[in-house]
Every structure is written in structure tokens, then in C-alpha cells.
Amino acid sequence: MSESLEKYIRAIPDFPKLGIIFRDITPALLEPKVFRELCDSLYKHCKGKPIDKVAAVESRGFIFASVLAYKMGIGFIPMRKPGKLPWKTIYEKYSLEYGEAAIEMHIDAVSKGDRILILDDLLATGGTAAAAARLIERQGGIVQELAFLIELEGLGGRNNLKGRTVYSLMRF
């Protein structure tokens, strides 16, 4: 990155609950040059890798995963909160640093042998990413890599994804 991404990440204390520091990427999205550099950096990292589809968990992961899928000429798999996808789904529960949640994807989003990149804006505890990986693998897909814009090192997310290839553009 030609500019420090850190200055475009807003730290919001006590959101969504007391004791959590939320890392807001909105300022980076508002700056066209920074947004372009983020997308281009992810593309450079993934270009030429054996990836058939990009999966992302709503909502900020969608922003970058859809751009990456477009640039790579591959499919995009949206993973959403329960009840948000319109067709038959499978779901996976997981723990967050501030509670529990679940994600769903359409049952036909992944075919056996599909090589999938999971992309999200932030790696915290790894719960969401691990749940996304389990969903893909349950449908016969292969998780090639998990990629993130930001990794919060102190929360141990990388440790919770042991045995998987993890990439992050920047770490806090």
C-alpha cells in the first residue's frame, strides 16, 4: 500500500458492546484511491491461484469479495445471517467475542471439489471464518485460503484457524 491504511481505519470503543473496540473500514471505503488500492492488493495476492469462487460473510466482506470475484472472473458466494437468503440453505453456528451467531449459504453454492477463497474485512477470534470454512467443506468444497483486510492479533483468530492458509493485509 502506498499510504498507511491504519489512518483510514476508525477505532470505535464499546461497540457493539462494552469492552469491544470495533474497527470501522468506512473511512477507507470513502476514499476512492484507498479503496482501489485495497481491492488491487487483494487481487494481486490472489491472481493466478487455483480459486473457483470467493465466499464472504455479510456485510463488509461482500464489498471486497464481489470486486475480487469480478476481477478474477469467478463466482461469488454470499454467506448471510439466518433468514436472509431466499432459497434452501444450510447453516453453521459459531461464537463471537461478544456472543453467538450463525451464518447460512445456499445449498447449491458450492459443488464438490470447488476451490474456495473465504474473504472478510476482519479476523478477530476466527469464529465466523471457521464457520464459513465448515459450511464450504460440508458441501464438498475445498478452502484454499482465508483472506482478511485486518487481523486483530491479540484475539487469536489465526490460532483458531490452525491448519489453514491465512492471509491479512494489515494487523493491529
158 is catalytic: no
> Out of 23, 31, 58, 97, which one is annotated catalytic?
97
Residue type present at position 85: L
CB 25 within 8 A of CB 172: no
Catalytic one of 23, 60, 134, 164: 60
Q: Is 97 a catalytic residue?
A: yes
Helix (H) or strand (E) holding 56: strand 53-57
CA-based nearest residue to 54, from 65, 62, 63: 65
Distance (Å, whole) CA 165 – CA 140: 18
- What nine digits make up the cell of 16? 457493539
Active-site amino acid positions: 60, 97
